[in-house]
Amino acid sequence: MRKQVVNGVYPVMITPFKDNGQVDYESLVKLTKWYDKQGADGLFAICQSSEMFDLTLDEKIKIIKTIQKTTDLPIVASGHTQDSLLIQIDEMKKIANTNVDAVVLLTNRFANEGESDEIFIKNLSFFLEKFPSDIPLGLYECPYPYKRLLSSKELAYILDSKRFVFLKDTSCDISIINNRLNQIKGTNFKLYNANAPTLVESLKNGASGYSGIHANYSTKLLKYIVTNYKSNDEIFIKAHNLMIAIRELAAVTIYPVSPKYHQLQCGNFASIKTRVKDDKLVTDDMKKAITVISAQIKILEKLI
């Protein structure tokens, strides 16, 4: 039986690899337990942070099943990375057959960059006609290969379909977020913000939680922020400021190598290998910056 997608923090899971490039399932178990212990409310598996465009379908399914064996948390998962809609439908049916709690569709898979709302709606409608109607669906504005932000017209179609339960919003724009929150008001559709600087305001305006890269550094601090977003005490301010600092860190280091280096320091990973970036590009200065952030996280986590 599928679990409900509840409010809170959904880390976008990174995939550990061995130095030879193979998926490190032992480290994946450690990472999953770490998210759970840190207070995650659910997990977003097989997303861009998971390097899904560089995973085989068999690997995606084995990763999901490994996570399911390790935790009872709700698990949502994407993974349709092909251009052909028919292949995407086949991919996501196989992902759905793992009994994940929601299947997440990428907004950029239903229209090419610059194509109209009508094309997006037509292609999404075709997908929905071919896909089982009893499986909860989510949406993710994945930045790769291009970021397609949902228009109000597209969102209206999505709400009218009654097939979707949430959106992972990557607009990073509070005015866009607020417009969406107004549009979904009174429905069962949830919005999870991926952006730390706009997170608190979005929560005050009705967002259901957080789903983004910062949780790979400290799910515990994100959970504290999401739970105490109406607070303004010293610990809350420090936690929020540290999340902003992590955002800046991600901008100047190699992602997703940087959170993998943090997880290496946490004892969960054996390697910082990725398939999407050359980990040799990570300089000593980058490692020092990540080490400083990691130390600050540990100090602050002890206070909450």
pLDDT of residue 251: 67
Residues 127/138, Cβ–Cβ less than 8 Å: no
Asked if residue 300 belongs to a domain, the reply is no
Residues 44/211, Cβ–Cβ less than 8 Å: yes
pLDDT one-digit tens code per residue, 51-74: 999 999 999 999 999 999 999 999
If one compares 140 and 304, the residue with the highest pLDDT of the two is 140
Asked if residue 235 belongs to a domain, the reply is no
* Domain boundaries, position 191: 8-226
Asked if residue 272 belongs to a domain, the reply is no
Asked if residue 169 belongs to a domain, the reply is yes
Asked if residue 301 belongs to a domain, the reply is no
Average pLDDT over all residues of the chain: 96
Asked if residue 126 belongs to a domain, the reply is yes
Please say if the pLDDT value at position 252 is more than 80: no
Asked if residue 153 belongs to a domain, the reply is yes
pLDDT of residue 200: 96
User: What does the pLDDT average to over 145-160?
Assistant: 98
Please say if the pLDDT value at position 263 is more than 80: yes
Task: Give how many domains the chain has, as a whole number.
Answer: 1
Residues 6/41, Cβ–Cβ less than 8 Å: yes
pTM of the prediction?
0.96
Asked if residue 277 belongs to a domain, the reply is no
What's the CATH number where 53 sits? 3.20.20.70
Q: What percent of the chain has pLDDT over 70?
A: 99
